[in-house]
Amino acid sequence: MITLKEVQSKKDLKTFIKFPFKLYKDSKYWTPPIISQEIKTFNKKENPVFNDADARLFLAYKNNEVVGRVAAIVNWLEIKDQNVKKMRFGWLDFIDDIEVSKALLNKVEGIGKSYQLEYTEGPVGFSNLDKVGVLTEGFDSVAPMVTWYNHPYYAKHYEAAGYAVEKSYIESRFYFSSVNPDVFTKANDLIKRRYQLEVLNFTKTEQVMPYTDKMFDLFNETYASLASFVAINDIQKAYFKKKFISFINPEYIKFIIDKNKNLVAFTIVMPYFATALQRAKGKLFPFGFKYILDAKKNSKNVVFYLIGVHPDYQNKGLNALIFNEYYKVFNEKGIETCYRTPELEDNEAIQKIWRHFNPEVYKRRKTFRKNLV
């Protein structure tokens, strides 16, 4: 018999967060989160997303042992402002037992129906900056920090519970040694002159901060046309600045401005923290912080985290300016492999950006949907 318990206490929350550590203890491909950071994610006083969203966390028990978990999420901005009647769910993990996964998904569906929502979709987070999708291909490679990893049996559990594929994502990588710089260096000066653009490079984090609000504004504008996009508000901007920017090498952040100093494009690349996080085992102390700092300075792999180009400048070759600058930095630092975060498989605009880099699709993931009405 499966029993569900709603997370109400700090002890319950730690149990919720630590369950995957048990589930994936024998996996060399799972990348653990930092436990303290996960706690902050669900802290309503810490995470401003709770100004516009609700989340209820549940643990599944069988024979008095934790066998699954799920976060049932309601994003009121999405529901009220966009009229998208969606019940979100994420952080869904479970043993290979259909009764367990069905019990967790049934709980999510029941909450969705209580709010008169039209369908459920997951796994997703609170916003478009959170992790997304259940892994369906690529189980034999390490999961980057910004993605979820799961056992191969997950997808069949969704199907058994009556869910169908909603969105498909791909994750790609390319090897820096295979990049031909002529592809973008030849176009670099021409595009700068034609559109009167300037690339901003940084050496210190404090140099980046004055531009970050504009970056999030451009992020909102760039991705607004994508399905189920929820814009980032001013309070969330401050939160994400604190959460992410300090972990990124300033040399890995590139902005492009026009002649009026307006931001028209940006790219954020992160060091590849996955190996450091595996060594840290969820804890910053005593050695986790050291592993992360070492990866920030010395990792030979990177993750292209965010790319945004103003709609007026898309398909005008601005990626040549960005990659020309990254080529210099990556060459100096001896970067070997460049990874990309999950991208919608049907997002043709983003695929065109990478067409000259011989990308290799090495993972696929999907979100699943079930109608409630």
| Same-domain check for residues 166 and 196 | no
Domain closes at, from 114, 137, 170 = 170
> Which has more pLDDT, 230 or 210?
210
User: How high does pLDDT run on average in the chain?
Assistant: 93
Would you state the pLDDT for residue 186? 84
Mean pLDDT of 72-94: 95
Of all residues in the chain, the percent with pLDDT exceeding 70 is 99
| Same-domain check for residues 288 and 334 | yes
**For position 156, which CATH number holds?**
3.40.630.30
DSSP state string for 280-333: HTT--TTTHHHHHHHHHHH-SEEEEEEEEE-GGGTTTTHHHHHHHHHHHHHHHH
| Same-domain check for residues 321 and 268 | yes
| Same-domain check for residues 152 and 289 | no
Model-level pTM? 0.94
Mean pLDDT of 20-29: 97
Domain closes at, from 139, 170, 201 = 170
| Same-domain check for residues 109 and 206 | no
Lowest mean per-residue pLDDT among 129-138, 230-239, 286-295, 323-332:
230-239
Q: Which pLDDT band holds residue 227 (cuts at 50, 70, 90)?
A: low
Domain closes at, from 122, 140, 170 = 170
Mean pLDDT of 73-95: 95
Cβ distance 71 to 47 under 8 Å? no
| Cis geometry, peptide bond prior to residue 286 (ω within 30 degrees of 0) | yes
Q: Is residue 210 part of a domain?
A: yes
Dist CA 372 CA 120 (whole Å): 7
Would you state the pLDDT for residue 347? 83
Q: Is 194 exposed, middle or buried (0-12, 13-18, 19+ CB in 10 A)?
A: exposed
**Is residue 164's pLDDT more than 70?**
yes
| Same-domain check for residues 162 and 184 | no
Would you state the pLDDT for residue 258? 96
Q: Is residue 371 part of a domain?
A: no
Cβ distance 90 to 71 under 8 Å? yes
Cβ distance 171 to 365 under 8 Å? yes
Mean pLDDT of 73-96: 95
**Is residue 21's pLDDT more than 90?**
yes
Q: Which pLDDT band holds residue 22 (cuts at 50, 70, 90)?
A: very high
| Same-domain check for residues 291 and 342 | yes
Is 16 strand, coil or helix?
helix
Count the domains in the chain: 2
Dist CA 341 CA 154 (whole Å): 20
Domain extent at residue 221: 174-364
| Same-domain check for residues 181 and 48 | no
| Same-domain check for residues 155 and 285 | no
**Of 49-58, 219-228, 230-239, which has the strongest mean pLDDT?**
49-58
Mean pLDDT of 260-289: 95
What values do phi and psi take at 283, rounded to 5? -125, 140
Q: Is residue 55 part of a domain?
A: yes
Would you state the pLDDT for residue 228? 63
Would you state the pLDDT for residue 214? 93
Pair of tokens at residue 300: 């030979």
Pair of tokens at residue 36: 């303290």
Would you state the pLDDT for residue 246? 78
Q: Is residue 373 part of a domain?
A: no
Dist CA 166 CA 181 (whole Å): 37
Q: Is residue 308 part of a domain?
A: yes
